[in-house]
């Protein structure tokens, strides 16, 4: 159950960093997905494993804080694209850096060669996973 413990550790880091920025874990995850670019509600609900109705409220709350915006889709008047505002982009970047720093600090326990071997192995396991990535960068 090493994977379960690793997962809980990462979740804790994620939650703590989010809290430092006045966000919930779910709100941070929304920002992370959007940092790759604007996304419609339906696709967003698939990315986040959420019902569309649940997503409506989440986006409402984050929009109320000025971090995202609903932009009407010119080609389909039913649809919209959710995009990061300037402040939202800034926030997403900061959270990404903070999480990365804290996880890299953990990885520093291992020699570089071993660290890369682990990363490569995990990447292979993940290759079976069709879930969209929450983060744009590597590492």
Partner DNA sequence: TATTGTTATACTCTATAACTATA
Partner DNA sequence: TATAGTTATAGAGTATAACAATA
List residues binding DNA (CB under 7 A). Answer: 24-27, 40-43, 49-61, 70, 73, 75-81
Give the residues across from 8 on adjacent strands: none
Strand order from edge to edge, sheet including 39-40: 39-40, 80-84, 68-72
Is there binding between residue 126 and a second copy (CB under 8 A)?
yes
Stretch of 38-46, 56-64, 81-89, 126-134 lying at the interface with a second copy (CB under 8 A): 126-134
The sign of the CA dihedral 50, 17, 60, 67 is negative
CA-to-CA distance for 78 and 71, rounded, in angstroms?
Answer: 11
Q: Is 16 helix (H, G, I), strand (E, B) or coil?
A: helix
The contact mask relative to a second copy for 25-54 (x = CB under 8 A, - = no) is: ------------------------x-----
Q: Under the rule (CB under 8 A), what is the footprint of a second copy?
A: 1-12, 14-15, 49, 99-100, 103, 106-107, 109-110, 114-115, 117-119, 121-129, 131, 133-135, 137-139
């Amino acid at each position: 159950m090493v994977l379960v413990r690793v997962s809980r550790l990462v979740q804790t880091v994620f939650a703590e960093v989010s809290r430092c920025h006045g966000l919930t874990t779910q709100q941070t995850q929304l920002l992370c997905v959007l940092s790759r670019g604007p996304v419609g509600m339906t696709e967003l609900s698939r990315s986040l494993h959420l019902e569309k109705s649940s997503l409506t409220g989440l986006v409402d709350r984050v929009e109320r804080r000025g971090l995202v915006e609903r932009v009407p889709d010119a080609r389909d008047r039913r649809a919209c694209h959710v995009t990061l505002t300037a402040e939202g982009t800034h926030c997403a970047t900061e959270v990404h850096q903070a999480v990365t720093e804290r996880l890299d600090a953990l990885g520093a326990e291992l020699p570089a060669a071993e660290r890369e071997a682990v990363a490569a192995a995990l990447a292979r396991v993940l290759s079976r996973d069709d879930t969209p990535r929450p983060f744009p960068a590597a590492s």
